[in-house]
Amino acid sequence: MGKVIAITSGKGGVGKTTSTVNLGAAINALGGDIIIVDANLTTPNIGLHLGAPIVPISLNHVLSNKAKISEAIYEHESGTKILPSSLSVKELKKIKPEKIPGVTKKLSKLADYIILDSAAGLGSEALGAIEGADELIIVTNPEMPAVTDALKTIKVAEELNKEIKGVILNRVRNKRSEMPISSIKEMLEVPILGVIPEDKRVQKALLKRDAVIHLYPKSKASRAYMNLSSKIMGKRNNNHEEPGFWQRIRLNLGLD
Ligand code: ADP
Ligand code: MG
């Protein structure tokens, strides 16, 4: 049985889709069997981030029993499998987020890792993805509103008895205006799985509609996503260079 991991957050725009796409692409690059699912039904973005074509059959069709799951899975040129949502405004009225858990259960028989990109907040769509997952990864930026909203998501997930794998701290610039990592850890009381730096290459990759790990594999963000993926897969990433002084300190602190 594969593991279903939802990438979620309280606040919007913190980097859930970026993290889903790059973790998915990195797990695929490391030889993992992965399906990325766009469980953000009202504002699906996976296609925009990964250059997927507008597809005739999507998750929306599967949720309303109009298509089989296998008909809605597409393969990116990298080999990463994607289950997209429909961009059509017409489909909006018919969304059925409460059916996501039934679909993810079936998906777990088709791959080792199923990564769900979810909507922000705690509305029915976000809850559908949380309920459909075995484990959650919460994305936040090092800013008080994002961290506070992440805490709300963590509390709701705990009430639903969902395992929280940890937090991805994204867009870290190491500026004094940011919340220190130690305070974020203290506030959220869950492990910090990865620290992804602010990196212009992430936006450049989005403009080119591909994962930063495909287009700029040596960028800081790509290396951080590769390390994080190896950690999720439970193996050492042999692609990265020897860790430098600060990275060794971070590794010792359990931050990388
Ligand atoms: P969400 O899915 O949580 O709404 P996105 O993944 O769409 O957030 O990211 C929002 C914006 O932030 C995008 O324009 C994306 O390119 C940018 N972004 C995300 N992560 C980074 C990063 N590490 N460095 C620079 N820009 C980033
Ligand atoms: Mg998104």
Which atom of ligand 1 has the smallest separation from the CA of 19? 6
Neighbours of 109 (CB within 10 A): 10
Range(s) of the domain holding residue 230: 3-252
CATH code (residue 105)? 3.40.50.300
Given this model, what pLDDT does residue 256 score? 59
| Rounded Cα–Cα distance for residues 87 and 182 (Å) | 40
Tally of domains within the chain: 1
Query: 84-98: per-residue pLDDT in tens?
Result: 998 776 666 677 888
Whole-number pLDDT of residue 240: 47
* CA pair distance 142, 26, nearest whole angstrom: 23
22 lines ligand 1 (CB under 6 A): no
CA distance 146 to 143: 6
pLDDT score for 95:
76
The pLDDT, as a whole number, for residue 199 is 98
* Contact status, residue 215 vs residue 29, Cβ threshold 8 Å: no
Q: What is the pLDDT along the chain (256 residues), one digit of tens a residue?
A: 999 999 999 999 999 999 999 999 999 999 999 999 999 988 888 888 888 777 888 998 999 899 999 999 999 999 999 999 987 766 666 778 889 999 999 999 999 999 999 999 888 999 999 999 999 999 999 999 999 999 999 999 999 999 999 999 999 999 999 999 999 999 999 999 999 999 999 999 999 999 999 999 999 999 999 999 999 998 655 444 455 566 666 666 666 5
The confidence score (pLDDT) of residue 241 equals 47
Report CA(121)–ligand 2 centroid distance (Å).
11
Model pLDDT, residue 51: 82
In whole angstroms, give the CA distance from residue 34 to residue 219.
Answer: 23
Ligand 1 pocket, 170 CB below 6 A? yes
In this predicted structure, what is the pLDDT of residue 41?
A: 86
Measured by CA distance, the residue closest to atom 15 of ligand 1 is 203
